[in-house]
A and B are shown apart, each in its own frame.
Chain A
Amino acid sequence: MTVTSTTAEVTTAGPAPGTDPVRRSRVDLLPYLLVAPVMIFIACLALVPAVFTIVQSFYKVDALDPPTRFDGLGNFVRLAKDHAVIGSLGNTALYVVIGVTLSTLIGIAAAVVLQRPFRGRSLVIAILILPWAMPGVVEGILWTGIFDPNAGLINSVLSSLHLSDGNAVLLGQNRLLTIALIELVQVWQIAPLSVLLILAVLQLIPSELYEAAQIDGCSAWGAFRRITLPLARPGIAVTMVQAVIATLNVFDQPYVLNGAANTGASVTMQTYFISFQDLDFGKGYALSLLITIVTLLVSLVVVRLVYRRVEL
């Protein structure tokens, strides 16, 4: 209401429409000029490559089989017949399910704990951010030492507890265990951002709501279910979308921890192998396009299911 009336005042205070066309044109151009740098950056770095990828995915672009030629759905047909790609799709689905679930649950739990001020809270948040700030490759190398079957930390602990002979093979043997452990490493990296995103939303919830609920005899669990969760839904939705994007594109952790083994190879790894090892760029473009479409669709579903507009 206030905004509308202010606008009306500004409009009425200015010259009558059409009386100063030169000045009006300048005024209209300015916002576009100011936004243009960002738009051009986005166009150069995202839109042009995206359009290029879409177009090239319908061409046979193979450095070892020139020339580049239109191939219709040829790349997509070859992808559908590629066992490594099919296997990696299943692996990636598991990464997404485990990663999104865990990072969201950890994000909510940690955000609730950090919601109320306590001594050392800032320090805890600072420490929490560390894994998020580390590159995936570095994390992979760090966790290699932890999972190492011959001299790793986990095996040493299991051995000292007499739970294994000290040579338990954690990665590479069992597909589900391998994917779960690799995804744990990725969750370790992405969960801090989930915590921060949800925490930001939780801090907007007025404390009066909790006080009123307490007066009405609502338990802590009840307050969490009826106040915290519903009001945190926008933050949870954003958290889940970032987790979907990260897990669907997981590369560093499986590549460093498990090599190219089928037990953990992700679909993004296959894009890398197809493009940079086989030099079959057309097929690589097609797979990239599919990953982008799936990412968009899954994100859309998450937003539709989880996001609710909240007015505080």
Chain B
Amino acid sequence: MLRSTRLLAGIASLTLVLAGCGGSGNKQSSGGSTQTSGVTITVALASDAPPKAALDAFTQQTGITVNWVNIDWDSLQNKISAAATAKTYFADATNVDWSRVGQLGKLGWFYPVDSYVDTKAMQADVPQLASFTVDGHVVGIPYDASFMVTTVNTELFQKAGVNPAPRTMDEYTSALKTIKAKGVADHPLNIPFAAAEGLSTYWYETTGAFGGTVLDKDGKPQFTSPDSAGYKAADWMVNALKSGLVPPGNINVSDSQGMQNLMARGQVASTFSDYSGNVGTLYNIKKSSSVVGKVKYIATPGASGPAANLSNPDGIGIPKQAKYPNAAAKFIEWFTATEQQADFAGVNGPEKTFATYPIPSHLSAVKQMTAKGNLIGGAELVPMLQGSKPVFEGGAPSWYPKFSNAVYTNLHAAATGSMSVEQAMKTIGDTANQLASGS
């Protein structure tokens, strides 16, 4: 009897393990259900959930329940890649970063959102939609209006007796040199030289300011000649470090560290490529800043006058393995609608406010925010958003992650002195040529 019981126990445990190893059986190919009511969809974004009341209202309107999953950005990108490669379900709607649009377009990992949502109708009001369009199809819809901006600590500029709103790169550089020479700030310029994405985007913005672009429409490098804007931008950045305009320690400082520890502490006077929205969400927050009310956005200084701001927004799209793509599309339509963004941004009262919501992607929602005084620096930000441009003319290439890795590792190496700017530009250029040719 005892032996039989033990044998049964052994078989039972084996069966349980086999069941566990067998998986849940939810592996499915592309083409989920068209059901748009009475379903629960999973939305995975690197963000807190919107207010519960808003999500409940959405459920009431549509019959779709939202299971919100907040995953940090890096892990989220890994999950998207892993799930798409394994062709397994992961979420019904998830992040589409501007830098991965080319890659995602080529891979076909996401449904074209324009098949579900009338993206043409929103084109005029969402300037950054262009950053999410590849081969005529929209891979994701931007839900924030992130773009690169120049911020200045007006108090430090004024203390040094220089114009806090320089219009050209020469004026800007000269102002920074004066601030340093007068001892107002030992190292007035913040450039994050850590080998990370923030260094690449800083260089793209600076290249734009010098009047050029990093890659042409075909993905060919435009920065290998010393006369090119990209080369001048890299040289300007490295020289700024070598001449002491940039804190020497910035060699290993990431973009967020630089903003939080240097700009928000008043140790530097300016960040050339800052995040739009940082004045309201970081510099004007007493507990994290000692420069409240002192930092302003200025029109990006350019070669001969203000330059365009480059876009680096986050979007939301529908992965091919979504269980309920149509329901996900309904959610995206609601989540990115002007009225909803205005609610999230606090235009219609605190109870509808989405505390960590960035700047809306709809120009009309930004204008509403500015009119109601909900957006600090709104008057400056609106024209910048209106004139913002994609980082790459032809959209981010499919090989962008590898290119960016070459950009930040080599620019970092040039900053440490282990290679010259010329060598760095050549190495990055060779990498781009190799990637563009597909070899």
Q: Give A residues with C-beta under 8 Å from B.
A: 26-27, 29-30, 33-34, 36-37, 40-41, 44, 63-65, 84, 144, 147-151, 155, 167, 169-173, 257-263, 273, 276-279, 281
A172 with B247: in contact, given A26-B7, A36-B14 (CB under 8 Å)? no
**A47 → B minimal CB distance (Å):** 12
B196 on the interface (CB 8 Å rule)? yes
Q: Establish whether residues A149 and B250, one from each chain, have CB atoms under 8 Å apart when the complex forms.
A: yes
Q: Which of B261, B401, B416 contacts A263 (CB 8 A)?
A: B416
Q: Which of A27, A170, A262 contacts B3 (CB 8 A)?
A: A27
Q: Establish whether residues A277 and B405, one from each chain, have CB atoms under 8 Å apart when the complex forms.
A: yes
Note all chain A residues with C-beta closer than 8 A to B412.
172, 259, 261
Tell me the B222-257 residues at the A interface (CB within 8 Å).
247-254, 257
**A259 → B minimal CB distance (Å):** 4
Note all chain B residues with C-beta closer than 8 A to A277.
401-402, 405
How many angstroms from the CA of A279 to the CA of B14 in the assembled complex? 37
For chain B, the count of residues having a C-beta within 8 Å of the partner chain is: 49
Most chain B beta-carbon neighbours within 10 Å: one of A41, A151, A172, A281:
A172
Q: Establish whether residues B194 and A150, one from each chain, have CB atoms under 8 Å apart when the complex forms.
A: no
B53 on the interface (CB 8 Å rule)? no
Q: Establish whether residues B85 and A171, one from each chain, have CB atoms under 8 Å apart when the complex forms.
A: no
How many angstroms from the CA of A33 to the CA of B416 in the assembled complex? 60
B327 on the interface (CB 8 Å rule)? no
Q: Establish whether residues B401 and A278, one from each chain, have CB atoms under 8 Å apart when the complex forms.
A: yes
How many angstroms from the CA of A146 to the CA of B251 in the assembled complex? 15
Q: Which of A40, A149, A257 contacts B251 (CB 8 A)?
A: A149
CB-nearest residue of chain B relative to A173?
B416
Q: Which of A30, A167, A276 contacts B6 (CB 8 A)?
A: A30
Q: Establish whether residues A64 and B253, one from each chain, have CB atoms under 8 Å apart when the complex forms.
A: no
Note all chain B residues with C-beta closer than 8 A to A151.
261, 265
Q: Which of B3, B251, B262, B408 contacts A26 (CB 8 A)?
A: B3
Q: Establish whether residues A172 and B77, one from each chain, have CB atoms under 8 Å apart when the complex forms.
A: no
Q: Establish whether residues A37 and B253, one from each chain, have CB atoms under 8 Å apart when the complex forms.
A: no
Q: Establish whether residues B17 and A150, one from each chain, have CB atoms under 8 Å apart when the complex forms.
A: no
Q: Establish whether residues A150 and B409, one from each chain, have CB atoms under 8 Å apart when the complex forms.
A: no
Tell me the B54-86 residues at the A interface (CB within 8 Å).
77-78, 81-82, 84-85
Q: Establish whether residues A44 and B106, one from each chain, have CB atoms under 8 Å apart when the complex forms.
A: no
**A71 → B minimal CB distance (Å):** 15
**B413 → A minimal CB distance (Å):** 6
Q: Which of B11, B18, B257 contacts A40 (CB 8 A)?
A: B18
Q: What would be 5 A-B contacts, judged by CB atoms less than 8 Å apart?
A: A27-B3, A150-B267, A171-B252, A276-B77, A277-B401
A172 with B106: in contact, given A149-B247, A276-B81, A277-B402 (CB under 8 Å)? no
**A180 → B minimal CB distance (Å):** 15
How many angstroms from the CA of A64 to the CA of B412 in the assembled complex? 27
Q: Give B residues with C-beta under 8 Å from A.
A: 3, 6-7, 10-11, 13-14, 16-18, 20-21, 77-78, 81-82, 84-85, 103, 106-107, 194-196, 247-254, 257, 261-262, 265, 267, 398-399, 401-402, 405, 408-409, 412-413, 416, 418, 438
How many angstroms from the CA of A245 to the CA of B55 in the assembled complex? 46
Q: Establish whether residues B409 and A276, one from each chain, have CB atoms under 8 Å apart when the complex forms.
A: no
Q: Which of A37, A84, A169 contacts B248 (CB 8 A)?
A: A169
Q: Which of A29, A258, A281 contacts B252 (CB 8 A)?
A: A258
Q: Establish whether residues B194 and A261, one from each chain, have CB atoms under 8 Å apart when the complex forms.
A: yes
Q: Which 10 A-B pairs have the closest CB atoms?
A: A149-B249, A33-B10, A261-B195, A277-B401, A259-B195, A172-B252, A150-B249, A37-B17, A44-B21, A259-B196
CB-nearest residue of chain A relative to B102?
A64
CB-nearest residue of chain B relative to A45?
B21
Note all chain B residues with C-beta closer than 8 A to A29.
7, 10
Q: Which of B18, B85, B249, B265 contacts A63 (CB 8 A)?
A: B85
Note all chain A residues with C-beta closer than 8 A to B84.
63
How many angstroms from the CA of A276 to the CA of B418 in the assembled complex? 27
How many angstroms from the CA of A30 to the CA of B3 in the assembled complex? 9
CB-nearest residue of chain A relative to B109?
A63
Note all chain B residues with C-beta closer than 8 A to A155.
249
Note all chain A residues with C-beta closer than 8 A to B257.
144, 148
How many angstroms from the CA of A170 to the CA of B253 in the assembled complex? 12
Q: Which of A44, A167, A170 contacts B247 (CB 8 A)?
A: A167
A63 with B107: in contact, given A262-B413, A277-B401 (CB under 8 Å)? yes
**A197 → B minimal CB distance (Å):** 30
Note all chain B residues with C-beta closer than 8 A to A150.
247, 249-250, 253, 261-262, 267
Extra contacts besides A64-B107, A173-B251 (6): CB < 8 Å: A29-B10, A44-B21, A149-B248, A262-B413, A276-B82, A278-B402
